[in-house]
Structures are given as C-alpha cells and as structure tokens.
Chain A
C-alpha cells in the first residue's frame, strides 16, 4: 500500500541544471498537486492537475513545468535550477467523495541548489 511515492528524497543541483522530481500514486485519484515548503513557512501550491492531460498553475509556478500523461504519475520539471528553488517539495494526490476532499502527501524531496 504505497500511497504517494516521491523520488528522489534528496538532491543537490548546480545553478542552471535541470531535473525532474518524480511523483506516483497508486490510489487512482484524479487530482494531483505539487507544493513547495520553505523554512518556517506553510506549503505553497506550484502546479496541480485535475486529471490526465489537464494541468494548471498554482501560486508559484515560475521556473517549473508539469505534465500528466497518466493518472498515476505527475512529474515536476525544473528547467534551469536557481538557488531560490532550494526548498522541500511535496506531491499530493486527492479525491473528492460526497463533497469531502481527502489529500495524501508524499514524504517530500529536499532540493538544494548551489
């Protein structure tokens, strides 16, 4: 019963490098989201998806791309890493039943950009 799986758990990048953070869920949820959390702060929404093939921007989308080709996977791409993108990244999947939302989060990817 994996839930939401994020890889890698830790990553160090040099400024200007690109990389993809992976997120997979096995609960057949239609909704998936990416958040970032800076020290002492709450989570801020980067991008989200309401189903395969459908994505939209959240609060802080600049510098990130997403795609959703399958229900299970929602990768987050950093196009050209910057030190300001040093953060902890969380992926979530969620479902709505009778108007009630329940979200499940991965354990996070800790990214440092030097």
Chain B
C-alpha cells in the first residue's frame, strides 16, 4: 500500500472552508484515495473516495492532482461538528485499510 503523509493538526474557523492535504507520492495507478474521519474516539466514518477525477458528495469534495501524488479534502463550510481526526488512506485490500495518524482538525468559533 502506498504511504500517505498528512499534517498532524489544522485549525479552521467555523463557516470557512477546511482544506486538508495529503501526500501519496508512491500511489499506484489503480489505487484509490479514501478519506475517513473519526469524531471523538467513535468508529471511523467514510467520507469520500476518488481515483483520478475530482469528486464531490454531500459531505465533502476531493481534489486529486493530475499526477495523483497528492490530494486535498475540502469541507466547504466547516462546523463545530466537523472537529475530528481525518485519515487519508490509499487503498489496501478490502480487509486491510492502513491508517496513519491523520490530521486533527479543530473547528473554532
């Protein structure tokens, strides 16, 4: 599985966009990028995934660079409930998602 690198922590004001970066320079051509988040020690929650194209769903947007060596998760209007640890994962097998230490996002008033 490709290794990912994320900043350990970030702050964001409520209502502003939160942009969470992830480097995955060794990603293989058929590997997906997944984002999960973990709110206050609950079980991780799936957010979004992408392969090459930018993706958007009701929770977030995912921007993947053309060379696929990095990506950015965008929460367009962060709220206090978005305070969590965000994990960027390059796909392992279905049963072996490999979690790093993630980025702790703190949303403030």
Evaluate contact between B96 and A58: CB separation under 8 angstroms: yes
A11 CB to closest chain B CB (Å) equals 16
- The answer to whether residues A101 and B97 also contact, given A90-B43, A90-B44, A108-B41 and a CB cut-off of 8 A, is yes
Whether the pair B46, A104 counts as a contact (CB closer than 8 A) is yes
Contact A101 B32 (CB under 8 A): yes
Contact with B along A49-62 (1 / 0, CB 8 A): 11000000010000
Q: Digitize A95-107: 1 where CB-to-B-CB distance is under 8 Å, 0 elsewhere.
A: 1100111111111
- The A-contacting residues of B in range 38-58, CB under 8 angstroms, are 41-46, 49
Q: A32 and B95: CB pair below 8 A? A: yes
CA distance A90 to B30 in the complex (A): 28
Main secondary structure of the interface of B (DSSP, over half): loop
> B91 in the interface, Cβ–Cβ < 8 Å?
yes
Once the chains bind, are B46 and A48 in contact (CB under 8 Å)? no
Q: Which residues of A contact B42 (CB under 8 A)?
A: 107-108
Interfacial chain B residues near A33, Cβ < 8 Å? 95-97
> How big is the A interface, by class?
20 to 34
Main secondary structure of the interface of A (DSSP, over half): strand
**Of B11-19, B69-77, B99-107, the one with at least 4 CB within 8 A of chain A:** B99-107
Taking a contact as CB atoms closer than 8 A, the residue among A37, A41, A45, A90 that contacts B96 in the complex is A45
Closest to A49 in B: B95
Interface contact A103-B102, CB-CB below 8 Å: no
With A41-B101, A42-B87 in contact, do A4 and B95 touch (Cβ < 8 Å)? no
- How many whole Å from B34's CB to the nearest CB in chain A? 7
Known: A40-B101, A95-B94, A96-B94. 18 other contacts (CB 8 A): A4-B43, A30-B94, A31-B94, A31-B95, A42-B87, A44-B99, A45-B96, A45-B97, A45-B98, A50-B95, A58-B96, A90-B43, A92-B44, A94-B94, A102-B49, A103-B36, A107-B43, A108-B43
Chain B contact residues, CB within 8 Å of chain A: 30, 32, 34, 36, 41-46, 49, 87, 91, 93-102
